[in-house]
A and B are shown apart, each in its own frame.
Chain A
Amino acid sequence: MDELCTGLCRLMVDSGADAGLAQFLSLLVGVLLVSGVPLLTVILLIWIERKVAARIQDRIGPNRVGPIGLMQTFADLLKLLGKEDITPTSADRWLYNAAPLVSFASVVLIWAVVPFTPFHYGVDLEIGALFFVAVASFGTLAIMVAGWASNNKYALLGAFRVVSLLVSYEVPLVFALLVPVLLAGSMSMLDIVNAQTGMWFVVLSPLAFVIFYVSSQAETGRAPFDLIEAESELVAGFNIEYSGMKFGMFFAAEFLHVFTNGILMALLFFGGWLGPLYYESPLIAFAWLGLKGGVIYLTTLWLRNTVPRLRIDQIMAFNWKFLVPLSIANLIFISAALKVMQEIGWAPRDMIGAGFGELVPTTVVLLLINGAMIIYLLGILRKRGQEARRESQATRAALAHAAADQGAA
């Protein structure tokens, strides 16, 4: 994007345009090009989401409009255009209208730092990873604002759940994000991908990937963490009062956020565009990134449509008593092991440019540590599961006993 902007700028200055204006216009073209990718994919994503959900639930899904229902999203868009937009009289008008904009904008803004290929990206910020964390939390704010401004009790309940849920899951998310940053020694997305030339980070630290995966599923507010919407208890949660296009924007934002997380996971843990022949052409690099991101995205859809919703106390306990300590322990073990290996010279000082051969000892040691942690964790989980089962059996037996007593009397 850099060369494109400078080239465009020079072209305009050469043809007699004002330098400042030329710079602004070339930046604008860059912004439109980069943001065009998420805006175009979201149209496809809505269709994919519905189709996958339908297949998992043994339905056919949209298949009437266009070939295999591909035009369904456009039909929906047209329908939403004709819908009346109702703003409750008791709502806070300004915040109520701003919330869907912020919700969608926060997701689009992430794409400013998402590189598509080694040469095609918006900006390669030195603090790319931190930028992602900062911008993504705007989505939380939008949902909170929507719930509060609607002045509706269901909406407010949903919004309060969001604050506790999304804010809590941000902690393990960022702790997991620290692992690739630490391994690459940089927050820039390009550097993180380049540092994986020798070995993907998912191999060096599978636990960090699992933590990131679970908490990003929670960040998007999807099953099993979908209690911000919780159709059966809160009717629709925070977006209950929204109708027409504003409602549509909340949904588009959610769908896009899920896909964005898939792409981010591909970049952070699966080496982004790294794959056979990626250096031959940017198209191949882009295809690798899309393939990896797409597969991760499909697994999140699969998860969403398979598991039931959890209760809020279970969700919070799972986060604070399991995921957060685990993510801290993971960070400590990984960093300690790597530091020791760097000191005795087994691991390279810099991952960027390190070949596969140099990384073999590092990979083996880190994998062993991760494996030990996973086995230990599975042991804990099994013990907790047995305890819970014994408890519930005891309650059930007591209840049956009481019922039998009543029957005898």
Chain B
Amino acid sequence: MNILNEWAFVGLFAVMAPVFPALPIVIAWLFRPRKPNVLKSSTYECGVETIGDTWVQFRVQYYIYGLIFLVFDVEMVFLFPWAVAYNEMSLFGFVAGFLFIFLLTDALFYAWKKNALDWK
């Protein structure tokens, strides 16, 4: 299969993949009872009406984890080509990748020392 055909397959797969779960939902939509009322379609909490808005700003700890993750996510994307080329690489290329990992591990230890990894 040439490369265009390969990606056509993946593209078609991506289009079809949501169709599979959509089918039973649509079939259920044909059969299911419809008796909505105000109480039923109100937000579920503990029996009383909810107080306050849900869509609010949230604690910052989640955001910090997100930031640290971003550093590593980018690092990993760069490491994949390095890993693929590993067998043909000279010692120099290997050490270059090594330094790259080292620099980002450094960032992890910085975050660790700054207590960014502690759940507060």
Contacts and interface: CB of A to CB of B under 8 A. Distances in A.
Partners in one complex: yes
Contacts of A369: none
B9 A328 contact: no
Contacts of B22: 101
Contact of A312 (B45, B73, B119): B119
B119 A86 contact: no
A305 interface: no
Interface string A87-103: 11110000000001111
Nearest to A2: B1
Interface in A107-141: 108-109, 112, 122-125, 127, 129-131, 133
Nearest to B50: A153
A245 B28 contact: yes
B114 interface: no
Interface stretch (A179-187, A209-217, A292-300, A374-382): A179-187
A224 interface: no
B34 A84 contact: yes
Contacts of A28: 12, 16
B54 to A, nearest CB: 5
Interface in B74-88: 76-77, 79-80, 83-88
A151 B42 CA distance: 10
A164 B5 CA distance: 37
B18 interface: yes
Contacts, number: 217
A54 interface: no
A181 B84 contact: yes
Consensus secondary structure, chain A interface: helix
A358 interface: no
B110 interface: no
Interface in B18-63: 18, 20-22, 24-25, 27-29, 31-36, 40-45, 50, 54-55, 58, 61-62
Interface string A225-266: 000000000010000110011101100110000000000000
Interface string A166-206: 01101100110010011001110000000000000000000
Contacts of A332: 98, 101
Nearest to B27: A81
A122 B9 contact: yes
A152 interface: yes
Chain B's interface size range is 35 or more
A152 B44 contact: yes
B79 A339 contact: no
Given A32-B16, A156-B54, A332-B101, A100 B25 contact: yes
Contacts of B29: 85
A241 B6 CA distance: 39
Contacts of A122: 9, 13
Interface of A: 1-2, 5-6, 23-24, 27-28, 30-32, 34-35, 39, 77, 80-90, 100-106, 108-109, 112, 122-125, 127, 129-131, 133, 148, 151-154, 156, 160, 163-164, 167-168, 170-171, 174-175, 178, 181-182, 185-187, 235, 240-241, 244-246, 248-249, 252-253, 312-313, 316-317, 320-321, 324-325, 328, 331-332, 335-336, 338-339, 342-343, 349-351
29 contacts: A2-B1, A5-B1, A6-B1, A24-B12, A27-B8, A77-B24, A80-B28, A81-B24, A82-B31, A84-B33, A100-B25, A102-B18, A105-B18, A108-B17, A122-B13, A133-B76, A156-B58, A164-B62, A164-B66, A167-B65, A171-B72, A174-B76, A182-B83, A245-B24, A320-B68, A320-B117, A321-B117, A328-B108, A335-B97
Pick the 3 closest A-B CB pairs, nearest first. A313-B119, A105-B17, A104-B21
